[in-house]
Structures are given as C-alpha cells and as structure tokens.
Chain A
Amino acid sequence: MLDTALNRRESRIDWPLWLAVGLLALIGSAFIHSVTADTDSAAGLPWWRYRSVGHLIAFVVGMMFVGGLCLVDYGRIARWALVGYWITIPMLLGVFLLPPVNGAQRWVKLGPANFQPSELAKLTFLFAMASFLARPIEELRRIENILKGLGLALLPCILILKEPDLGSSLVFMPMALTMMLVAGVPRKLLSRIVGFGLLVTSLALVDVLLAPPGWKFIKLQEYQRRRLLVFFNVSDPSPPGSSPEMRRQNRLLMRDTAVNVDQAMISIGSGGLTGKGWRQGTQHSLGFLPRLGAHNDFIFSVIAEEEGFLGSVTIIFLYAVVLFRGIRIAGEARDRLGRLLAAGVVTLLFTHIFVNIGMNIRLMPVTGIPLPLLSAGGTSVLCSLVAIGILQNIHLYRRHY
C-alpha cells in the first residue's frame, strides 16, 4: 500500500523531462536577452516588454496550459481530434485573407501577440493522426486507410507550404510516417511509401534546381529555390545562353542568399571550443546575422558563438533528455493512442530541432523553422510546451485507474 503510494507519488511528474525543459527555456531567454536587450532598451521599452522577458512569460503561460491539459485524460481530448483538425484547416485558409507580414502570410494578429495557425495545425494534426491510426491494427493493412492517413497529413502540409512556410510544412510527413510505423502499418508498405516519397522529392528537386524555366512544374518561391541552390553549392544558376548581365544579377542574388548561412557558420565556427562569453558575440550585434532572425531562427548560432562547442553540446544533451524521455513515455503508454501521440510528439520536436540546427550548421537548406523552447516567439514556445504537456499527460495516465 505504502509502496504503491510512493511509487505513484514519485512518478506522476516526469522530473528529468521538466528539468531539461525548464533549463532550455531559461537558456533561451538568456540568449534572446543577449541579442535583443540593446535594441529593446534603445526603444525605451519597460522591462516587462523585453523580448527575453516575453519568452519567460510565454513559458509560464505555456506551463499553465500544460497544467490545464493534465487535468483531462488524453483519451478524452482525442475524442475532439477531428473537430480540432477541421477547425484548423479553415484557419490555415483564412491566413490568406490577411495582409502579409514580412512577405509571408503566417501570422494572425491576436491581441498583443501574433499567432501562427501553422503551429496549432501541428498539434491538431497530431491528435487527428493518432486517433485515426489508433484503430484496430487489421484495418491498417488496408491501402485506402493508409492513403486516408497520408491525405490527413498532406492537406495541412500543402496549405502551409502555400503560405509560404516550407519549414513548418516539412514537419507533417515525418510525423505521419513515424506514427504509421509505430502504429504497426506493415513495413513493406511503409518502405514503399518512403521510397515513392523519396522518388517524388528527388524528381521535385531536379525539377526545381535543374529544369529550364518552361518546365518548372513545382512552383516554389524564387527565394526558396535559391536557398536550395545555395545548399547544393550552386553559385551561378543562370540557364545556358543567358546574358552576362543576367548572370551577374543571378550571382549577386545567390550571394545575398548565401549570406545568412555563411554568417551563421562564421558565428558558430568562431565560437570555437569554449565560446566568447555571454553577450560577447559580435555577429548579431554587428548585424551580420539577420536582424529579424538572430533571436529566433538563428538563436542557435548565437548560443554556439557565445558558448562554443561545449554550449552547443549542452543544448543537444538537453534536447536528447526530452526526446528520449518522450520515447520512453511512448513505451510505457497504456494504449496505442498514447503510444502514437508520444511518438508523434517526439518526431515533431526532433524534426524541428534537426531542421533548425541543421540549417545553422549547413546540414539542411535554410527554412524558417523555430528551435523549440529556445527561439523567441510565443506561439512556438506555447505549442512546444503543449506538445511536451501531452507527453506528461500520457505519462500521468499511463495506467488504468
């Protein structure tokens, strides 16, 4: 009796997970401060409107959300999954009716904060996909169910791609595939899907990168295409037979596009083993890192410059704690729904981490995607916390009581 009570008491909250999460949020706030404190104080903002403080406020609000979330068993939440999904889809469409911000239509003005429906879409998709795949395993052998599942992922994926927000749209396919794998969709079928997907992707890449202007079937934004070209180290994308003036213009454009990646690499590389010290990094203060990105999409460059290799490894270690606790929670879940949800959350977080850090260190092309818990941006912090809250929820209700 005593034994069980202790056991239950000890394991209700996943302490290592929340310790790592809290540290990440604090680190995030500290380095957002490093980047934005000067501008914020120059703008004469009161301390509570500093972006570093805003980050902490978003964290606290997020933790309240998590608290609320844990009051209800995830199984009961999942009943509303499809409703949530079909509410999000019109919201994604609605973005197009609003004026663009920074050349893209991702944000909805919502009181003091800008709200990104694409972030919400990741969560509602997670629930929808999990409850769809939670059906009896026999049904998952049927090809139409597989296609339905893929369709569930493709719909928000394509809408977000149109915003345009390549980074966020990239998240859906890995989530769908991982969850299918965990749900027990036959491996043969999955590998075929993956194979087909890879084929389509490489064809698409060939089309985007190499095809002459008349043969472009995939309409990417010009800047997205250039980012891909930068990643594949193409410095002169002019088609054969173009005039020297055009070639010059193209090369200039390519150089401008490459600047962000090159500068991120210089930031990270110049940090060396131990870094330059907090608030001592020069790349963001001198404006070599993008002004709008240093505190969100390129926050990792700042941390790596100021804290060096040791700092970046610490960050990766903290993420590893979160991710592996998540996988463990998936393993302990009381049912397939919980297992699927946890695996989905882990994939969601991992994709964000890998794509964001990968773009900073040139493992991935540049796409705008936030680094969970570190990047400034209320919606991102909130959604990351809710996602981790789902893990906690699954952990909390891992037994039938």
Chain B
Amino acid sequence: MIVFEQLNKGDHSLRALAWGVLLGLLLMMGQLWRVQVMSADRYRASLQTQSFKSVRVPALRGRILDRNRRELVGNTPRYRLDLYLDELRPQFEAEYLREKREFVAARRKAMGDSSSGGWVLEFWNHLRHRSKTVRLTSVDLEMLQRQSRYTVVSNTVAAVGSRLGTRLVLSEEALHSHYLNRRFLPLSILPDCNPTQVAQITEQIWAIPGVALEQVAVRSYRYGSLAAHVLGHLKRDDNPDEDREEITYHYRLPDFVGAIGLEKSLDAELRGTAGTKAIQVNSQGYRHHQSEELLTPPQPGRNVVTTLDLNLQSAVEKALNTVKGGDERGAAIVLDPLNGDILAMASAPSFDPTEFLSPITTTRWESFHNKEPERPMFSRATYGEYAPGSTFKVIHALAQLENGLDPNEIFTVRANPADPGHGVYYVGNHPIGDRAPPGEYDFRRALIKSSNSYFIHYGLHMGWDRLLSMGRQFGLGEKTGIGIGEEATGFFPATEDIPRLGYRQGDLANICIGQEITVTPLQMAVAIGAIANGGQVFYPRLVHRIEPYDLFSDGAPERVLAGQVRGEVRLPHRYYELVRAAMRDDVLDDEGTGKAARLPDFAVCGKTGTAEIKGNGRKDKVTWFVSFAPYEAPRYVVVVMIESGGSGGGTCAPVAKLIYRYLRDAETGQTKGLAGG
C-alpha cells in the first residue's frame, strides 16, 4: 500500500499505527459485509414485520338472484363514522404534558413541599442532584398517557355527537382495547349514519381532525323473510378460513359466513377471496402518514342465479298465509316436473335474515330456534318429516298396477258398525276406520274418494316388497340432494329392514295408507313430478347458474348447472295415465276430495292427504295437497303441507288453487297477484 511505502523505513511506531488503523477499517468492512450483504434478507424481513400491519379485507359477497336475475339478496352501502387516532397524536401529546404537570404539582403538594430552605440550600441540593423532584414510575406515566388519550378521544367524540345532534358515548375500556389491539385502524364512533347525518358530516367534517366517513357494504335481504329458509342467513365469523391462509394477519375486518340455506351451502362461491391491506405503522404502532396500501384487492364473490321466481315465490307465501293469516305452520313448493327446477319454496312461519347481521339477544335467538310449535328457523319444506297420509296412495296405486291390479275390479267396502256413514277394514280382528263411505270401489273411485279399505285390502294382498321398492324408486327415504344443508331423509324402510323392525300385517296396512312412514314436502314434490312426467325422478334444482359478480368483468365464465335425472321409474305408460286421470278426477269430480282446487281452464290434478299423528300425548293432523297441472301437459307441481290443518281437501287444496290461479294468469300475461289473497 502506498501509504506504507512512503513512510520512513525505520518508522516502526507509525507503521504499527497504520496497521492498527487498517485492521480496524477492515474489521468494520467485514462486519458490514456480513450485515448488509449476507444477512440482508433477514433484516429486511424484520423491517417488514415491524413496520407493516396486514389487515384482512373481506370480499364483497356474491348476490343471490332469482331466475330472471332479479336480486333476492344483495349488498347495500352503509355509512360509518370513523376516528383515526394517529391524527389526534399531537393532541394526545399536549394533553399528556398538561395532565403530567398537574399530576406532578398535586404530588408535590402531597409531599408537603415547603421551599423554605433558601437559595443557598437549593443550590447546594442542585449541585448534589438532590433537588426535590417528583419521581414518576412507569406505571404513573402509563396511567397518565391512557388518561390523556381518553380525554382527547372522548372530547372529540362528544364534539362530533353535539354537531350531529346525537349523544355519542365511548367507554374508556373500548378505547383502551382498541388502542392495545388495533390502534393503526380507525375507531368506529357511529356505526350507521342516517342520511341526514351523512349530509351534516360531509358539510362539517373539516372542523374536526381525524374524523372520516367510511362506506361499508352490508348484506341486504331486500324482501325480508321472503324465501328466508332457502336463502339462509349469515353469522359473524371472526376467524374465516384461518388455516388456509398464508398470511398471519394482524387484524381481520369483521366478516360473515353463511349459517344456513344457500348462504351456507354456496358460501365458497358467494364469499369471494379476501384481500390484504398493508398499513404502514410507526414505532408507536400508529398508522404512518395515512399510508395504506391494498396489497391484494379482495375478489368479490360470485352471483348465484337461483331457479326461484320472485313473483311466484311471493304469491306462494301469500297463498300460504291465507290459511291462518300468518300463524300457520306449513310449506308449499312449486316445481317444474320437466327438469326438477324449484320455482318457489316456502316454509311458514319465516324469519328475517337481516336480524342475524347484528348481535341478537338470547331470548330472540331462542324464539327463532326453539319456540314450540312455531320454530320459525325450521325449514319445513325440506327438513320437516311428516306422514304423507293418503297422498302416498298415488305411489301405492302405481305399485298395485305393476302388481297386476285390474283397475276395473270392484271391491266392496263394508260399513263401520260404530260409524255407519264410513267404511271399515279389518286387519285380523283389528278394525281400521275409513273416511270414505261404504260401497263399491274401482281403482278410480278408490283414489278420488281416498278409500283406505281398498288400498289396505290390495296392499296386504300384494305384500311389502313391491310397495316399498316403488316408494324408494320415487326417492322416498333418501335426501333429494337439493343442495342446502337443512334436508331430512324421512323414514321409508326398504324390504330388507322389515324383519329387523319387527313389522307385522298391521304395520303394512298402515304404510299402505301413508302412516308410519315420513316424507318431506320436497320429496313429495319430486315424486309427484315423476308421476306427472312419466317416471323421470329429478334431482330438484335450486341453483340455475353461478356467474361472476360483475357480468362485464372478465372473471371466470358462468357455470350452468343443468337439471339431472336421478332415476327413472320404468312402468308402462298407461299405468301413469290411469293415476294421472284419477288425480284429475279427484279435483274435477264432484265426488273428489280435492275439488277445492278446481280452476276453470286449467286442469289441476291432485291428491289430498290427512295424516293423523300422535305427538306430545295429543292427536294432531298433517294435511296435504299434492298436485300437478295442467293435465294435458304438466308444467307445474304444487305441494302444500299444513301442520294442524283441518283436512287436505279443506285446508291445503284452496292454497294450491291460489297458486295455480297465479300460475295460469302469469302464463296468460295477466298477473294481478292473488285476488282475495
């Protein structure tokens, strides 16, 4: 090195100094190389973690639309008033200093400070570092800071409140918890501003630092309780898909997850992908210079286009409400027998999903879930298991025809000795009463007058196997696969279960007329659909397609979910024709039980049912009307079920009639709603 050569050759001490300096400089360079080049990544990582807070931003939830893309569930903006603590920091500081001064003064007074020592002593004390200083512990300082923060924030909140003409209160604990956990985020001081307040705020906002109006999306169920059991509701979800996320968030903005219905079963589609916001924070943990960056923007969820028809759905619910003016418990389903589409599906009583967006009281929750017998949350259409009663006879009838029954064969029903107006049938020595009168019955009359004796007689003759396998082919005893979680299987045994269940002739007689077994209204709708279309058992379809949130964006292409055939009940065509004709006559014939559903120009085909159930020690009834229309070319299946009704023909058939009238008018373009509804 030049320096060394130029030094005097004999100058050992200066050379030693030069070597020492060189060594020192090289040592520093070596350490710098280690820190800045070799460990740079590690230090960069720690820089990231300490100066950025990642916040999970939930995505806009996909909308739920009806088959004509009318919105059933959407999102509406809500205005929230926020307070940014970082912008109040100068005030915190000033207030802290003021409170500290007061605190010290008070403490000094308490210590009994009498400055009577004279200046000589004071100077001497000063020299010896003994000037009477008030020692503040870290606990004191902490307390003072916390106190001054609250003073400033609560004053600001109160000032905002007085300008808006409402009293805004912020508790000390709420502020402290916010400060400890998420001071880099704004503090919400008014969660839902009404339009007047929004106007006031936008006019006056400039005067108060740190206050900002934030727009947030809120789920909106714009038709309230309409189709609530199908659509479902949301619940707060504070740790959504935590285990699947790559980032450990410092904070998650409030998010919701579907709790029931489509909101739950299609949650993955509706939810979208949450985004990440990075907020730069300073060493005190406050947001730095309003720097927020959306690292990954949230991807909105996908829209679900359902098969429901908004107008029909509301017509169906109105029709259902005519039974007891809103106090009824029951279900009504309209299904397209040609493809299994659910056009409307209602359960009563219903609930408003909006209530579940904000915290709900325990008593309210209890009244939703557990209040007997209403249980508004109970999706009776899909989850309720009821004895089908006489409506099962249409399936039984097909089993009989398959078994070789001659439809013209006459069976004579005996009069009941105890009740001469009605028939009776003896299984062994046990009489089973009949609501139909005694007399001569062929196949058609047995169906339209719903003769128990006729069906028990031939049923016992036919045996278990054909009856049960026919029911199971129509999908009884199994879930229909509609695609919402709240679905029951019902109880419908297979032949091989009979010995295990220990069933005897009496049980077979009961099953022949739809007792001892249970079905859901939806299962009945699917089965009736199969009878109407000649044996095609569909998976009921509730979701028409799933499409991007914004149709004009180039998101993933829409998905069309076609109707799927679950199975086919292969029977000669005339068997179906016989049953269909009998169902038509049940409504058309003056002798039929379903004549209350009769509608001019629209051949409704139906079957009534009144099942007796023994529950809670008292007798109750489930009444049914299962039907399709029009006879010539079935396009609609309507199933109505009412708990504790009078009779199928008296209680349910009129409801079906209202629904069919709406459908007929809608087809002819004269939808005036439900006259007399």
| B6 near A273: Cβ-Cβ < 8 Å | no
| A182 near B14: Cβ-Cβ < 8 Å | yes
Interface of B: prevailing SS: helix
| A316 near B25: Cβ-Cβ < 8 Å | yes
Chain A 237-277 residues near chain B, CB threshold 8 A: 265-266, 268-273
Q: Lowest 5 A-B CB distances belong to which pairs?
A: A269-B43, A287-B283, A272-B40, A309-B36, A324-B3
B51 interface neighbour in A272, A286, A304, A347, Cβ under 8 Å? A286
Q: What are 20 A-B pairs at a CB distance below 8 A?
A: A181-B16, A182-B14, A182-B17, A269-B36, A270-B43, A271-B40, A282-B280, A287-B282, A287-B283, A288-B283, A316-B29, A320-B25, A324-B18, A327-B21, A330-B14, A331-B11, A343-B13, A346-B17, A346-B21, A361-B35
| A350 near B21: Cβ-Cβ < 8 Å | yes
Q: CA A171 – CA B5 in complex, angstroms?
A: 28
Count of A-B residue pairs with CB < 8 Å:
122
Chain A residues touching B, range: 35 or more
| B17 near A270: Cβ-Cβ < 8 Å | no
Residues from chain A with a CB closer than 8 A to the CB of B8 are 331
| B50 near A319: Cβ-Cβ < 8 Å | no
| A273 near B37: Cβ-Cβ < 8 Å | yes
Binding site for B on A (CB under 8 A): 96-97, 99, 178, 181-182, 184, 265-266, 268-273, 282-283, 285-288, 304, 308-309, 312-313, 316, 319-320, 323-324, 327-328, 330-331, 339, 343, 346-347, 350, 353-354, 357-358, 361-363
Residues from chain A with a CB closer than 8 A to the CB of B31 are 361-363
Residues from chain A with a CB closer than 8 A to the CB of B28 are 316, 354, 357-358, 361, 363
Q: CA A290 – CA B29 in complex, angstroms?
A: 24
Residues from chain B with a CB closer than 8 A to the CB of A327 are 3, 7, 14, 17-18, 21
| Given A266-B50, A269-B36, A288-B50, 10 extra CB contacts under 8 A | A181-B16, A182-B14, A182-B17, A269-B42, A286-B280, A286-B281, A288-B283, A308-B36, A316-B32, A324-B3
Q: Does B222 reach chain A (CB closer than 8 Å)?
A: no
Residues from chain B with a CB closer than 8 A to the CB of A268 are 32, 35-36, 43
Binding site for A on B (CB under 8 A): 3, 6-8, 11, 13-14, 16-18, 20-21, 24-25, 27-29, 31-33, 35-37, 39-40, 42-44, 46-47, 50-51, 126-127, 280-284, 288
Residues from chain A with a CB closer than 8 A to the CB of B25 are 316, 319-320, 323
Residues from chain A with a CB closer than 8 A to the CB of B14 are 182, 327, 330-331, 339, 343
Tell whether A272 pairs with B44 under 8 Å between CB atoms, given A286-B288, A350-B24.
yes
A287 — nearest CB in chain B belongs to which residue? Answer: B283
Residues from chain B with a CB closer than 8 A to the CB of A328 are 3, 6-7
Q: CA A358 – CA B23 in complex, angstroms?
A: 13
Residues from chain B with a CB closer than 8 A to the CB of A353 are 24
Tell whether A273 pairs with B17 under 8 Å between CB atoms, given A286-B282, A327-B7, A361-B31.
no
Separation in Å of the A344 CB from the closest CB of chain B? 10
| A313 near B43: Cβ-Cβ < 8 Å | no
Separation in Å of the A320 CB from the closest CB of chain B? 6
B289 — nearest CB in chain A belongs to which residue? Answer: A285
Residues from chain B with a CB closer than 8 A to the CB of A323 are 21, 25
Q: CA A327 – CA B25 in complex, angstroms?
A: 15
Q: CA A304 – CA B13 in complex, angstroms?
A: 34
Tell whether A309 pairs with B32 under 8 Å between CB atoms, given A265-B43, A269-B39, A350-B24.
yes
B47 interface neighbour in A178, A270, A273, Cβ under 8 Å? A270
Residues from chain A with a CB closer than 8 A to the CB of B126 are 99
Residues from chain B with a CB closer than 8 A to the CB of A184 are 13
Q: CA A182 – CA B24 in complex, angstroms?
A: 18
| B127 near A97: Cβ-Cβ < 8 Å | yes
Residue from A270, A331, A363 having most chain B Cβ neighbours under 10 A = A270
Residues from chain B with a CB closer than 8 A to the CB of A343 are 13-14, 17
Residues from chain B with a CB closer than 8 A to the CB of A313 are 29, 32
| A361 near B37: Cβ-Cβ < 8 Å | no
B280 — nearest CB in chain A belongs to which residue? Answer: A286
A178 interface neighbour in B17, B27, B50, B280, Cβ under 8 Å? B17
A358 — nearest CB in chain B belongs to which residue? Answer: B28
Tell whether A270 pairs with B44 under 8 Å between CB atoms, given A312-B32, A331-B7, A361-B31.
yes
Q: CA A242 – CA B9 in complex, angstroms?
A: 61
Q: CA A321 – CA B44 in complex, angstroms?
A: 32
| B35 near A265: Cβ-Cβ < 8 Å | yes
Residue from A99, A272, A304, A347 having most chain B Cβ neighbours under 10 A = A272
A275 — nearest CB in chain B belongs to which residue? Answer: B36
Residues from chain A with a CB closer than 8 A to the CB of B36 are 268-269, 271-273, 304, 308-309, 312
Q: CA A338 – CA B27 in complex, angstroms?
A: 29
Residues from chain B with a CB closer than 8 A to the CB of A331 are 6-8, 11, 14
A350 — nearest CB in chain B belongs to which residue? Answer: B21
